Amino acid sequence: MYALSPTNATGIDGASGDKDGDGASNEDELAAGTNPDDATDKLVVRLRDSSGNMLAEWGAKVDKDYQLEYTDDLMPPVWSVAGARKTALSTNQTEIDYSSSSETSRFYRVTVQP
Ligand SMILES: [Ca+2]
């Protein structure tokens, strides 16, 4: 499907390479179901306020499973889940972190579940 190198992990065609230069590694793109040859196709998470809680939204791939996670400290990060693991039924996915209202800073990520 994609011409990625199994023998040169750090090369541009390798797992940690970024063939299309969009900032997402080839390995992460394959896990997310995005195209490592298309710089306009990558998993992007946007955050915004929703009545005092943080709402995350991302462009999903149908039938992929996603989980929103957060941490309040990056040194080192201890990730906790926010909301439930979701199987995408459409390309627009959202999750609200209802535990976020009292926090002054918090970091988020969306993981693609196997
Ligand atoms: Ca891409």
Each residue of 37-86: pLDDT tens digit? 999 999 999 999 999 999 999 999 999 999 999 999 999 999 999 999 99
How far does residue 14's CA lie from ligand 1's centre (Å)? 14
How far does residue 26's CA lie from ligand 1's centre (Å)? 8
User: Does 77 lie in the same domain as 23?
Assistant: no
How far does residue 10's CA lie from ligand 1's centre (Å)? 17
pTM: predicted TM-score of the whole model, two decimal places: 0.85
CATH number at residue 57: 2.60.40
User: Does 49 lie in the same domain as 37?
Assistant: no
User: Does 52 lie in the same domain as 26?
Assistant: no
Give the distance, in angstroms, between the CA of residue 99 and the centroid of all CA atoms in the same chain: 20
Average pLDDT over residues 2-13: 77
pLDDT at 27 over 70: yes
pLDDT value at residue 109: 96
pLDDT value at residue 1: 61
Which structural domain, as residue segments, surrounds residue 35? 1-41
How far does residue 53's CA lie from ligand 1's centre (Å)? 30
pLDDT value at residue 100: 86
21: left (phi over 0), alpha (psi -120 to 50) or beta: left
User: Does 16 lie in the same domain as 55?
Assistant: no
